[in-house]
Amino acid sequence: MTGGAGFIGSAVVGALLADGHEVRVLDALLPAVHPSGLPSAVPAGAEFRHGDVRDAAAVEAALDGVSAVCHQAAMVGLGTGFDDAPDYAGCNDLGTAVLLAAMARRGVRDLLLAGSMVVYGEGAYRCPAHGPVAPGPRRAADLDAGRFEPPCPVCGEPLLPGLVAEDAPADPRNVYAVTKLAQEQLAAAWARTCAGRVLTLRYHNVYGPGMPRDTPYAGVAALFRSALARGEAPRVFEDGAQRRDFVHVSDVAAANAAALAALPHRPPGSTRAYNVGSGEVRTVGDLARALATALRGPAPRTTGEYRLGDVRHITADSTRLRTELAWRPRVPFATGLAEFATAPAARSA
């Protein structure tokens, strides 16, 4: 398990240990995520090794005796600007390439890859007049004017957002998204060359206990909660109507366990992707209001600010995961947010 000391990785480790797996964690404990330098989040019962996925010797040693790899290690989030691009490409793509090359040498043929919904760019849209369409890139002039909804590229009329399925074309719209798509493509090339088997779980907006805070790479749920802990109103970008699918980390861990069990039954040389979402469509404003209510804090403030690399609406169709792997999300939005509001956070800076 690469990245097994992180927010999602440690939850997956716990689920796999509960299923009776022996788990070895390889984690670099990067200071931006682990300021203490200690693997404090790694569940008891897992073997821990300190090492970076970009270090071929560390990776090869960690693969000794391993039958499958769950690759969670990645630099996440939209970041702070294009200056982050070398770090994203190094952590996510070079690291994945080093890992896959070591797996090829060691004869490890099963890979469970942590993917992301960001590979889709915008979600699924339909124009009442022109049917399914793909909106073009968001324009700063529109966003500056408060026109946040993407128009139909044919007639310019408003679009109706829907659920995005795994067969939607990839359209990454920021550096992080590009690196996550490259991870999938590297894994597919490895599978074809080495007769490997790959299952990719495209996470939607994951939240839950242990989520990092106080960093530009944290998820929006963590940023809102940190503001409320300081007694500040959560700052909601755009108009707060951005649609997302917020899925609890325990449900993501269960999806990983189900996928790992399915991997040995896949044909050699194959890849398959699964959306991992709760199936509950919510808005960013909904999230901010729910947290403010749970923490009895100030009401959210809608700022009209935006980040050009963000997308307007992206929500999951997780039918494939439910049907093929018999996975079901167990934590409703209201229950999960109430727990998350008061759960300890992992300090990231």
DSSP three-state, residue 283: strand
- Report which residue type is found at 16: L
Nearest to 255 by CA among 64, 19, 6: 19
Tokens 């979402």 identify what position?
277
Neighbour count for residue 31 (Cβ, 10 Å):
11
Give the tokens for residue 85.
């691009």
Count of beta carbons in the 10 Å neighbourhood of residue 40: 12
In angstroms, rounded to a whole number, what is the distance separating the alpha carbons of residues 90 and 94?
5
For tokens 């947010």, what's the residue?
337
Strands 270-276, 205-207: pairing is unpaired
Q: What is the sign of the dihedral through the CA atoms of 168, 171, 173 and 177? A: positive
Q: In what order do the strands lie in the sheet with 69-71?
A: 69-71, 110-116, 197-203, 270-276
Catalytic residue among 176, 203, 207, 217: 176
For CA atoms 282, 283, 288, 290, give the dihedral sign.
negative
d(CA 279, CA 17): 27
d(CA 342, CA 279): 24
Q: Which helix (H) or strand (E) holds 13?
A: helix 7-18
125 catalytic, yes or no?
no
Residues carrying an active site annotation: 176
